[in-house]
Amino acid sequence: MTATATAEPVEATRKRGFSLPSAYTILFILIVFVAILTWIIPAGSYEYNADGSPIPNTYHSLPQNPARIIADSLTAPINGLYGIENAERNISYYNTGTLFGAIDVALFVLVIGGFLGVTMQTGAIQAGIGGIVQKLRGREQLMIPILMAVFALGGTTYGMAEESLAFYLLIVTVMIAAGYDALTGAALLLLGCGIGTLGSTINPFATGIASGFAGTSISVGLVSRIVILVVGLAFGIWWVMRYAAKVRKDPMASLVASEREANAEAFKGADVGGDTKLTGTHKVVLVLFFLAFAAMIVGVIPWADLGITVIPTRYWWFPEMTASFLAFAILIGFFARMSEGRFTGTFVDGARDLLGVALIIGIARGVTVIMNNGQITDTVLNAAEKTLVDLGGVAFINIMYLLFLPLSFLIPSSSGLATVAMPIMAPLASFAQVPADAVVTAYQTANGLVNLVTPTSAVVMGGLAIARVPYGTWIRFVAPLLVILAVISVLVLSVTVVLKT
């Protein structure tokens, strides 16, 4: 997750005129707006059960408790990080029922950043993917499904995005040399990582954070997310291979045919060699890398509740997962023979790359602090309950999915959106008898779909800039597939709700 890698491509494609403000600005404006609403929306509260869920038909009015618009807006992100609220309750819980603030999530993100930074510094992931490319030279048709599956694995486990930018030059060059076009290479990367993120199974930046603020485990709803991942990826691979076959048969069928000669010349002399030899150290690092995510899954799954006694139930959550990733980062640094100085420097650099994400989580949590302190959260829930819950579980979850689409444009940060939306959407789902994990899946699939095309994404715009593919061409190519992915998501969400209610 290296933010610096996207700076030049995005700058190259930036045009004059109106541009959306950053996620930081959008979220802070939202804090101020909500602070103003505490003067307008009546205060009220539900009664809550032992699990922290609102009890239907217990809403009652309370004396107004409006926020100090300037002072409380400034302190809200700080209080959000520490979990300090004046309200009697906090709707985010550990599995044990203990309250927590966003500081746990923010620290988790920073340690994950350090873990990824150390892993990337070893060159193991780059060497692994480079080795696959070298072995498949001359069999580029196989390269499409294999590499899309590999990049999807990165997307579904740790939200691989910015890291993929390092592979555009290599992949696009190989695709053009094989008789395909630049769009084929760009699609392989964007859809591989993007569909993997859309179908996140254990992605800590999407599923993990959303599950935390929804009060559920990252392991709950895993089957539904696997189905979305596998089916969505199958359609994505088919879509790219179908287009690639047309281009190879008739180069003029390419959507970038007018740039064919220019692209061939631009990528002809590209240096795509690099160190693609997968050493023994690289193999050890890759094993440790995937063991880190396996350990997270084993730690968070309540095996005892599933009737499994062979594996002990650990009830891990953010503190334990953070410690686990820190331990694996140290192991990777040790087996990669990093010096103490190099390891700590690399870890800090990796954490620094995700500092913006940690700050966004704090700012986004400030919205919840203002709403809870102003005691308007339950008033909003009560109004939404009267409007939505009588629709039935299937209609409810599909409306949630549709709501997350524009919200993903408004708040482009997946972590920020999860932090803002889940404290409202998850309790609302309980009124409609819809499981919280279905809301998490609706959020991540909608957000993942939008992030395949949003022009505010440094990954989308940066990747297209490197591949020399116009943004309009990308939209024309991917639009039908977006509809297919949306239908898959809606169908799986609907079936999930039917089976669980």
pLDDT tens per residue across span 408-463: 988 878 888 998 889 888 888 888 889 999 999 999 999 999 999 988 788 898 89
Of 75-79, 94-98, 401-405, 435-439, least confident by mean pLDDT is 94-98
Of 64-73, 77-86, 228-237, least confident by mean pLDDT is 77-86
Asked if the model's pLDDT at residue 39 lies above 90, the reply is: yes
Q: Does 288 map to a domain?
A: yes
- pLDDT 10s digits, 160-182: 888 888 888 888 988 888 889 99
Cβ neighbors of 167 (< 8 A, separation 6 or more) are 126, 129, 189
Higher pLDDT, 8 or 163: 163
Asked if the model's pLDDT at residue 15 lies above 50, the reply is: no
Full residue range of the structural domain in which residue 160 is found: 3-377
- Select from 47, 92, 3 the least CA-distant residue to 364: 92
Please report the pLDDT score of residue 13 as a whole number: 41
> Domain total for the chain?
1
Q: Is 27 helix (H, G, I), strand (E, B) or coil?
A: helix
Q: How confident is the model at residue 219 (pLDDT cuts 50, 70, 90)?
A: confident
Of 110-124, 179-193, 378-392, 476-490, least confident by mean pLDDT is 378-392
Pick from 247-261, 400-414, 478-492 the range whose average pLDDT is largest. 478-492
Q: Does 203 map to a domain?
A: yes
Please report the pLDDT score of residue 426 as a whole number: 87
Mean pLDDT of 237-256: 94
Q: How confident is the model at residue 88 (pLDDT cuts 50, 70, 90)?
A: very low
Q: What's the CA gap between 335 and 350, in Å, rounded?
A: 18
| Mean pLDDT over the full length of the chain | 85
Q: Does 480 map to a domain?
A: no
**Long-range contacts made by residues 494-499, C-beta under 8 angstroms, separation at least 24?**
494/394, 494/397, 494/398, 496/221, 496/224, 496/397, 496/435, 496/438, 496/441, 497/393, 497/394, 497/396, 497/397, 497/434, 497/435, 497/438, 498/393, 498/394
Please report the pLDDT score of residue 84 as a whole number: 59
Please report the pLDDT score of residue 411 as a whole number: 82
Q: Does 251 map to a domain?
A: yes
Q: Does 468 map to a domain?
A: no
Give the percent of the chain with pLDDT over 90. Answer: 47
Q: Does 308 map to a domain?
A: yes
Q: Does 301 map to a domain?
A: yes
Q: How confident is the model at residue 6 (pLDDT cuts 50, 70, 90)?
A: very low
Mean pLDDT of 484-492: 97
Asked if the model's pLDDT at residue 99 lies above 50, the reply is: no
What single-letter DSSP state applies at residue 21? P
The alpha carbon of residue 492 and the mean position of all alpha carbons in its chain are separated, in whole angstroms, by 19
Please report the pLDDT score of residue 270 as a whole number: 56
Q: Does 429 map to a domain?
A: no
